[in-house]
Amino acid sequence: MSIQSEIKINQFQLALLLDESDKDFFKCSIAHNVYCLNCRDVAKNGIDITELYLTEFNDIRVHGRCKICNCEVRRLFEFGEEDKFNNKDKKLRKSIQAS
């Protein structure tokens, strides 16, 4: 696997990468399964997403804020290992680099 850099993506670009079951999983995780260090619990009301990154390993890293306490939270979604994106990530990287 060649070394690629981490890129910032928006929610529209994320939606292009994920298939339907991934989207469900992603939504569900954002709503119920992001740990907030400040609350010392999962962010029960979910989080507001502030930034999204496609990492060099093709994982998705989400930065956001806990809707209860407004503290920063992060969560890594490991999609990269299964080569899940079927080269969709490569197209996206190209289009972003070209713009």
Closest distance of CB 37 from Zn ion, Å: 8
Residue whose C-alpha is closest to residue 92's, from 50, 58, 51, 49 = 58
Q: Is 7 in the site for Zn ion (CB under 5 A)?
A: no
* Site mask for Zn ion (CB under 5 A), range 14-53, x = bound: ----------------------x-xx--------------
Q: Which residue has the tokens 């080269």?
A: 87
Residue 33 or 38: the one with the smaller Cβ distance to Zn ion is 38
